[in-house]
Amino acid sequence: MSTPIAPDLDDLVTQKYRHGFVTDIDSDTLPPGLDEDVIRLISKKKGEPEFLLNWRLKAFRLWQTMKEPTWAHVTYHPIDYQAISYFSAPKSKKDGPKSLADVDPKLLETYDKLGVPLHERARLAGVAVDAVFDSVSVATTFKDRLHAAGVIFCPFSDAVRDYPALIEQYLGSVVPQGDNFYAALNSAVFTDGSFVYIPKGVRCPMELSTYFRINAANTGQFERTLIIADEGSHVSYLEGCTAPMRDENQLHAAVVELVALDNANIKYSTVQNWYPGDENGIGGIYNFVTKRGECRGRNSRISWTQVETGSAITWKYPSCVLIGEGSVGEFYSVAVANHRQQADTGTKMIHVGPNTTSTIVSKGISAGRAQNTYRGLVKVLPSAAGARNYTQCDSLLMGPDCGAHTFPYVEVKNPSAVVEHEATTSRIGEDQLFYLLQRGLSQEDAVNMIVNGFCKSVFNELPMEFAVEAQNLLAVSLEGSVG
């Protein structure tokens, strides 16, 4: 008689994706296809100024000359960009909701189901939420309180209307239109997203949060986020993402730009839980995202923390360009890939200014038949005297059919720089598992405990309530992984 702990490591997941419902709501959706007329229509629907339309058109023309990148360690069928609808918005009163009271109750219900109640009273004190549903922002909470502090936190479209000068100055200044294929596509067709401006010397009085939801079928989501932290300001920003379960793949190609001026501090946290597809790799979101921050000012700091559990394919490298003297870039990442998910994620730390420092802590967890790749670049330019980087990449494998890959690129052009890299790969130990079972823990609790221990140094970087969510999410993503 043999009672193996893991009779079949292959026998992964029975747990279903918990956010896979569809909200039945009237939508105003453009027919699939992309040409200059579609872009003009999007721009017109949003009542955009001339400069933005021209900006989009320039991006579109660049995009048409570009090719999809193929260097990532992922495989998928070619995407037909003409089969995607580039705009979908819940139908509402002509001028859109003025306040939460005007928001379609079905939408509020959707966010409640997702655990993101938009009613300010019900909402955790201290977190303001912008909810983006398909292509548009549907609600932003705590606007007044933020306004009193001088903080601007609003849907991107509102910012275009109300603060066009800031948009014109900063849009594309970190990720230019022609940066890469997906960024160019986003620049041409982006529909909404969040805009944040923290004035000089202001410490944002609460966490800011955007919750992204893809609902409509055959649409792509192309949101744009721009955060500007003026001199001496502080902000902590969180984003969460979910989508219904569908058999087709859906494209999510977002761009996030962060700008930190002198002594400013931006903390950007992501819990990404887009629908990952089923256990056979059918459906799921293609998450092709460009995120970059520029530490422009002296002693500024940008910190990326991400917990990536969803998406069929993740292609994303939140990066920091460290320009200001003494500026600091940080990247803390947990990437989980289960079933047939593919993740190719990591960061770029570009040291431009002197005495800049960067820290990279990446934890990759692979289960099922998933492939999980860390890809990172640490680049020290000749101008970056005294630059320092510390990189730690750990991979945890669960089962015999998954893979972990690490591609750390290092380019150092200044001899005074110190660059350290540590990497480990381990299998979830039968010994560890048996030890915990022998102490009376269930199989699942034991796996969660080991995995959470593995991810601890990253979870410690998350804001408290997100850390709990992240742990739960990890538990769901890996449920049944060691069966």
Partner 1 sequence: MNQIQRGDLILDIQGLVADVAGRNILKGLNLTIRAGEVHAIMGPNGAGKSTLSQILAGRPDYDIKAGSATYLGEDLLALAPEERARRGVFLGFQYPVEIPGVNNVYLLKAALNSRRRQQGLQELDAFEFMTIVREKMKLMKMDESFLKRGVNEGFSGGEKKRNEILQMTVLEPTLAILDETDSGLDIDALKVVSTGVNSLRRDDRAVVLVTHYQRLLDYIVPDYVHVLAGGKIVRSGDRTLALELEQRGYDWLIEGTNAA
User: Where do contacts with partner 1 occur on this chain (CB under 8 A)?
Assistant: 1-5, 429-432, 434-443, 445-446, 449-450, 452-457
Distance set, CA 421 to CA 102, 180, 328, 334, 375 (Å): 53, 27, 17, 17, 13
Shortest distance in whole angstroms from residue 475 CB to partner 1: 14
Q: Considering the complex, state which of residue 188 and residue 474 has its C-beta at the smaller distance from partner 1.
A: 474
Shortest distance in whole angstroms from residue 395 CB to partner 1: 14
CB burial readout 163-190, b (16+ within 10 A) else e: beebbeebbbebbebbbbbbbbbbbbbb
Per DSSP, the three-state class of 210 is strand
Q: Considering the complex, state which of residue 215 and residue 448 has its C-beta at the smaller distance from partner 1.
A: 448
Q: Considering the complex, state which of residue 419 and residue 446 has its C-beta at the smaller distance from partner 1.
A: 446
Cβ-proximal residues to 141 (8 Å cutoff; 6+ apart), any chain: 100, 118, 120, 123, 128, 129, 130
Q: Considering the complex, state which of residue 47 and residue 440 has its C-beta at the smaller distance from partner 1.
A: 440
Shortest distance in whole angstroms from residue 7 CB to partner 1: 9
Shortest distance in whole angstroms from residue 335 CB to partner 1: 17
Shortest distance in whole angstroms from residue 449 CB to partner 1: 5
Within 10 Å of residue 446's Cβ, how many Cβ atoms? 22
CA 340, CA 458: separation in Å to the nearest integer?
24
Shortest distance in whole angstroms from residue 364 CB to partner 1: 15
Q: Considering the complex, state which of residue 62 and residue 393 has its C-beta at the smaller distance from partner 1.
A: 393
Q: What is the DSSP string of 233-266?
A: -EEEEEEEEE----SSEEEE--EEEEEE-TT-EE
Q: Considering the complex, state which of residue 6 and residue 328 has its C-beta at the smaller distance from partner 1.
A: 6
Q: Considering the complex, state which of residue 68 and residue 430 has its C-beta at the smaller distance from partner 1.
A: 430
| Whether 417 contacts 382, CB under 8 Å | no
Per DSSP, the three-state class of 156 is helix
Shortest distance in whole angstroms from residue 443 CB to partner 1: 7
Would you put residue 270 in left (φ > 0), alpha (ψ -120 to 50) or beta?
Answer: beta
Within 10 Å of residue 245's Cβ, how many Cβ atoms? 17
Across 224-356, where does the E strand assignment appear? 224-229, 234-242, 249-252, 255-260, 265-272, 284-295, 301-308, 313-316, 319-322, 328-337, 342-351
DSSP state of 100: G
Q: Considering the complex, state which of residue 39 and residue 447 has its C-beta at the smaller distance from partner 1.
A: 447
**Pair of tokens at residue 454:** 């593995």
CA 83, CA 224: separation in Å to the nearest integer?
22
Shortest distance in whole angstroms from residue 438 CB to partner 1: 5
Shortest distance in whole angstroms from residue 432 CB to partner 1: 5
Residue given tokens 């569908």 in the structure block: 246
Q: Considering the complex, state which of residue 382 and residue 429 has its C-beta at the smaller distance from partner 1.
A: 429
